[in-house]
Structure 1
Amino acid sequence: MLRKMKVMMVTDSLQVGGAEQVAVDIANSLDRDTHQVYFCATRTDGLLRSSLKSDVEIMVLERSATWDLLKLLAFGKYVRSEGIDVLHSHGRGTMRFIALCKALGIIQAQHVFHDHFGRLHLDRSAGPGMKVPLHHGV
């Protein structure tokens, strides 16, 4: 029997919002025969917690900034201890948070970025903190 792929959806919060709802919907729709599902809200908990299926492992980091070192380390420790295979981030701040974890060698898991605004690679207002990770395989 094959090992289940461990997938973690990552958003800033579980507050009601478009990106958050998409992440919850994806988490709930993954096939439980082949996936073990986790959800991390890097900033705050919220009403969408009750929408997640009961088998979803939930982590709320309560980070205050993208560069919150203690939260980066706590996130990395959890991802490693659980053996997460894929991190699926929703939102640009969350993408930067995970990209920083990867750049610092805190985590090794694959990272998939779901850009809910689109065209990040063409956005002139997006600084290097957004564009550099895209060029490194986020």
Structure 2
Amino acid sequence: MNRTFRTHNKRRLSMMLWTLVFLFIAAAQLLSGHPSLSAIIFFLAACMGCRIAWRRVAVPLYTLTDEDIRIAGVFIGYKHVRWQDIKDVKQSDDEIRLVGREWVGSTQINLNHLQPTERHDFVQLVQQLVHRANGTS
């Protein structure tokens, strides 16, 4: 089993639009004669914003497999959490918290980033896989 969950379309479009606007403003400042240091820093920050927005659009937020859950990082990589390492799943209105066995603290998963139609499926699947790994029903 391999199921991916992405951000919802409205959020993706908004992220891409705003970063393109800032990148356009930064490029205009750089091309206007003698750019100042603040214009260069603004351009670099806009490039970083484009990188983050592209990652959120191109890379799935969460990937559920039989062995683990992969949570996409903001800049690069994934956080891998094995189902056997999760002791419990706590749910509130807009997030779920994975309470771990051997690692300190917990992992927060914000459900607002998911498509509204997929939130319930995601929570049910996570709970099912945690219960299966723990041998409970």
TM-score, normalisation: structure 1? 0.25
TM-score, scaled to structure 2: 0.25
The structure number with the bigger radius of gyration is: 2
